Amino acid sequence: MEEQRAVRGYKSLDLRVEEIKRYITAGIASTYEIAHMCGLSRATIKAYARKYKIELPEKRRKIAKKEYIEKIKEALEAGAVSDDEIAAAVGLTINIIRRLYHLPKIKERRLRKFKKMLDEGVDSLEELVKGLGFNISNIMKYCKEYNLKLPSNIQPYPTKPEIDILIQQGLTLREIGKDVNLTGERVRQYINASGQYQTWLEIKKQKKTRLKQSRTELVYLLEERVKQELSEQSKAYQTVFQYYQNIKHNRNSVKFDKLVELLELYKEAQHNGKKLSLEQFQEKTGILITTIGHIFSRLNIPPCYGNLETTRTDKYKKQALQRSEAVMMNFTDIAYLLEIPYNVVQQYFCRINIKRKKIKKIKCFSSRTKGDTLNYRFASQIYEAIDTGFNLEEISQLTDATPRVIEYAKQHRTTIEPFIIKSLKTLYPDKEIKQSYKPFF
């Protein structure tokens, strides 16, 4: 077993510990270098040190790059010639010596040569690559690092014919990658590196323009053909075609035949003198009421029953509506006192974002029976009917209020009526309020 381990280059635990101690005694002050020489990781070196109580070198202060370069120069002045001698004098590895000292000098020489070639007017990417001795990606790095600009008319340097042909065809990155078995990102990197990016974009733009132009021509020919066919059809077909041209289509658009059916149904109703509601149009065509309304509006076709008249709230009522914020009544009562629609009051309070607490009605006998709840609108109408001289049955028929609601309003008139008048004065401060019912002033 021991012979087999020796053949494989196996080192026993004792040998490894001795080896670590030997390197520390030799003056190697870096755990990185000890680990590299032993062929182990730093964590393993530290684990051995903890287990066998080996004192590792103290952590050295990080020395700046400039200080290392100064040490290298001092070693050269002291007579060190080879990289091995410099590394031994400074206490660094050969690779670090080359990276700190030799590489910057090489970069300086290349940078001077790069600037010289640009000043001489070299406009070929291939000449730059061969003259400088490194690839295109390094040229781009130099340009970015040292703020250099390549000529705007620089000639590309294509090196992969199988990709270059597809670039000239204006294919997308994904399409090119699929043909050459590469990812789209790898294709983009090659296009950038070979200097063909702007050319590729221009070819793609031209291809897109040609495709758009050909599509426009095809659509024009189709439209002309459809117009020719529709000239032999009824006017409904022509109207629907114009409607389709002026709207944006989606999956929920009404089908052509359905629109023709709707217009022919409308024309037939007009011819026979019949009036069909939007609900009847919906039943016969299957198109939603709201959609039928939009279609008639777009085609400037008035509904059979005409358009609804829109009522506008005048300026004085708007000012009174603003003052209604201080009136402790519900929306129905405020709308009655202002003589405006209920939805106008509701929308106003929603718009100004005022949340009113739930206001109790004057008296609720039963919420299930119609007219069995007394509010200020009912109270105002009841007092008007009483002052006019109507009896209990007549008031109940006029206001739809139950007899017990009317009796309650009569008994508590001394408390309910003053509150109505006070609210009216709040709404109309410039008017002289005479009574709690219409006309208020």
Domain shared by 262 and 357, yes or no: no
Choosing from 120, 145, 170, the residue where a domain stops is 145
Place of tokens 């597809």: 166
Question: Is 0.85 topped by the overall pTM?
Answer: no
In contact, 119 and 113? CB cutoff 8 Å:
no
Q: Is residue 13 part of a domain?
A: yes
Residue 421 sits in the same domain as residue 340: yes
Q: Are residues 341 and 243 part of one domain?
A: no
What angle, 0 to 180 degrees and rounded to 10, lies between the N-to-C axes of helices 136-145 and 103-119?
90
Predicted local confidence at residue 6, as pLDDT: 38
Answer whether residue 334 is part of any domain.
yes
Any domain includes 37: yes
- The pLDDT value given to residue 23: 81
Shared domain for 320 and 365, answered yes or no, is: yes
User: Is 185 part of any domain?
Assistant: no
Among the candidates 114, 145, 176, a domain finishes at 145
C-beta of residue 243 within 8 angstroms of C-beta of residue 296: no
**Low-confidence residues in the chain, pLDDT < 70:** 1-11, 29, 58-65, 81, 98, 101-103, 105-106, 226, 230, 232, 245, 247-252, 305-311, 356-357, 441
290 vs 292: CA distance, rounded Å:
5
Are residues 273 and 319 located together in one domain of the fold?
no
CA distance 101 to 123: 32
Q: Do 374 and 402 contact (CB within 8 A), yes or no?
A: no
Residue 58 falls within a domain, yes or no? no
**Residue 244: alpha-carbon gap to chain centroid:** 30
List 91's β-bridge partners, or say none. none
Tell me which DSSP letter residue 42 carries: H
Q: What pLDDT is recorded for position 339?
A: 86
End-to-end Cα, the chain, rounded Å: 120
Domain count, the chain: 4
Q: Is residue 331 part of a domain?
A: yes
Say yes or no: 383 and 407 in one domain. yes
Tokens encoding 383: 């007092």
Q: 420 with 322, same domain?
A: yes
pLDDT of residue 267: 83
Q: What is the pLDDT of residue 62?
A: 52
CA distance 167 to 162: 9
Shared domain for 365 and 280, answered yes or no, is no
Return the pLDDT at 5: 39
Cα 282 to Cα 32, 258, 291, 292, distances in angstroms: 84, 11, 9, 8
| Segments forming the whole domain that contains residue 357 | 315-427
197 is a domain residue:
no
Per-residue burial over 308-331, b if 16 or more Cβ lie within 10 Å, else e, is: eeeeeeeeeeeebbeebeebebbb
Domain limit, last residue, from 112, 145, 178: 145
Q: Which residues, other chains included, contact 363 with Cβ-Cβ below 8 Å and sequence gap of 6+? A: 373, 374, 405, 408
Task: Please give the Cα distance from 46 to 20 (Å, whole number).
Answer: 10
> Does any domain span residue 435?
no
